[in-house]
C-alpha cells in the first residue's frame, strides 16, 4: 500500500492541472482500531452489541488434519491436540467453549451447526457433520451438545489432510442459502495454515491455497463473516 500511495502522489504532482476534477484523497484514514483489551467476557459482549451485532447464526468448523498430532507433540504435553483421554480440556475444547460462550447469546436459536474437515474421509474436498445419521433432522447442537459430541467423535476420527479451508467455507455458504440468507458467522478452529508444499514457487499458490482464496471470494457475496 505504501508503494502504491507514493506512486499515486508523484503521478498527481506530474498531472496537476490536467485533472483538477479528480476528488482529493482523504487526509485522514477512514478507519479506526477496534480495541481488544477486554478484561472479561461481559466487556466483549457489551462491545459487540454497541457495535451493532444484535443477532447472528453461528457455525463451527474443526480441523482434523494430521498436523494436529505433530503440533501437539511440541505444545500439548506430547499429545495430539484432539486427545480427549483426560478430563482436562484440550485446545480445541477450550476454543469451542470460549467462542460458544461469547457468541451464543447472539445466536437466535442457540443451535450451532458444526463440521469437521481434513480427516481421511473428507481430505481437502468435503466436510462431515457432527450430527450422526440417526439425528439428521437436527441442524446442530447447543454449546453443551457440541462439547459432548466432540468427545464422542474425536477418538474415532482418522486424521489426514491436506489442509484446505475451502470445503468448510463453501459448506457455510450452503447453510446461509438454506436459511434464506440470514447473517451467519463461521468460526474455523485449526492448528495451522493452509497446506503449501516446499516445491511451490514463490509468488505461486498451492491447490489448497487457491481453492481457499476462491472460496473466500465466492463467500463474499453472502451475509457471512469468517
- pLDDT tens sequence across 5-56: 444 444 444 444 444 444 444 444 444 555 677 777 678 778 877 877 777 8
More confident residue, 70 or 41: 70
| Average pLDDT value for residue range 78-93 | 96
Low-confidence winner among 63-72, 168-177, 192-201 (lowest mean pLDDT): 192-201
Percentage of residues of the chain with pLDDT beyond 90: 65
Is residue 168 over pLDDT 70?
yes
Contact 179, 113 (CB under 8 A): no
Spans of all domains in the chain: 54-225
Q: Topology of domain 54-225, per CATH?
A: Rossmann fold (3.40.50)
The confidence score (pLDDT) of residue 55 equals 74
The confidence score (pLDDT) of residue 100 equals 85
User: From CA 155, how far away is CA 192, in angstroms rounded?
Assistant: 20
Cβ neighbors of 211 (< 8 A, separation 6 or more) are: 124, 164, 166
What does the DSSP assignment read for 127-154? -EESS-GGGTT---B-HHHHHHHHHHHG
User: From CA 92, how far away is CA 147, in angstroms rounded?
Assistant: 10
What's the farthest any 2 CA atoms get from each other in the chain?
73
Contact 173, 129 (CB under 8 A): no
User: From CA 75, how far away is CA 79, in angstroms rounded?
Assistant: 8
Picking from 117, 169, 107, the residue whose alpha carbon sits closest to that of residue 143 is 107
Phi, psi dihedrals of residue 85, rounded to the nearest 5° = -75, -10
Residue 172 — left, alpha, or beta (φ > 0 → left; ψ -120 to 50 → alpha)? alpha
Cis peptide leading into 31, omega within 30 of 0? no
Picking from 150, 165, 147, the residue whose alpha carbon sits closest to that of residue 224 is 165
Q: In Å, how far from its chain's centre is CA 3?
A: 30
Could you give the angle at the alpha carbon of 73 between the alpha carbons of 97 and 120, nearest 5°?
A: 75
**In this predicted model, what pLDDT tens digit does every residue of 196-213 receive, in sequence order?**
988 889 999 999 999 999
Across all residues in the chain, what is the average pLDDT? Answer: 85
Picking from 139, 141, 146, the residue whose alpha carbon sits closest to that of residue 182 is 139
Amino acid at each position: 500500500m505504501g508503494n502504491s500511495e507514493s506512486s499515486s502522489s508523484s503521478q498527481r504532482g506530474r498531472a496537476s492541472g490536467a485533472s483538477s476534477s479528480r476528488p482529493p484523497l482523504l487526509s485522514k484514514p477512514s478507519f479506526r482500531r477496534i480495541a481488544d483489551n477486554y478484561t472479561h467476557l461481559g466487556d466483549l459482549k457489551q462491545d459487540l452489541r454497541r457495535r451493532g451485532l444484535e443477532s447472528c447464526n453461528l457455525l463451527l468448523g474443526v480441523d482434523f488434519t494430521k498436523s494436529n498430532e505433530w503440533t501437539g507433540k511440541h505444545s500439548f504435553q506430547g499429545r495430539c491436540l484432539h486427545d480427549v483421554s483426560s478430563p482436562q480440556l484440550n485446545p480445541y475444547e477450550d476454543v469451542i467453549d470460549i467462542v460458544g460462550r461469547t457468541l451464543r447469546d447472539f445466536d437466535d436459536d442457540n443451535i450451532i451447526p458444526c463440521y469437521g474437515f481434513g480427516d481421511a474421509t473428507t481430505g481437502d474436498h468435503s466436510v462431515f457433520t457432527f450430527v450422526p445419521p440417526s439425528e439428521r433432522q437436527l441442524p446442530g447442537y447447543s454449546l453443551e451438545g457440541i462439547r459432548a459430541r466432540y468427545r464422542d467423535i474425536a477418538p474415532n476420527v482418522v486424521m489426514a489432510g491436506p489442509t484446505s479451508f475451502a470445503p468448510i467455507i463453501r459448506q457455510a455458504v450452503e447453510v446461509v442459502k438454506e436459511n434464506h440468507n440470514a447473517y451467519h458467522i463461521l468460526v474455523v478452529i485449526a492448528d495451522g495454515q493452509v497446506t503449501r508444499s516446499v516445491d511451490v514457487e514463490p509468488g505461486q499458490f498451492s491447490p489448497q491455497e487457491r481453492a481457499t482464496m476462491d472460496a473466500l471470494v465466492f463467500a463474499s457475496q453472502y451475509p457471512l463473516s469468517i
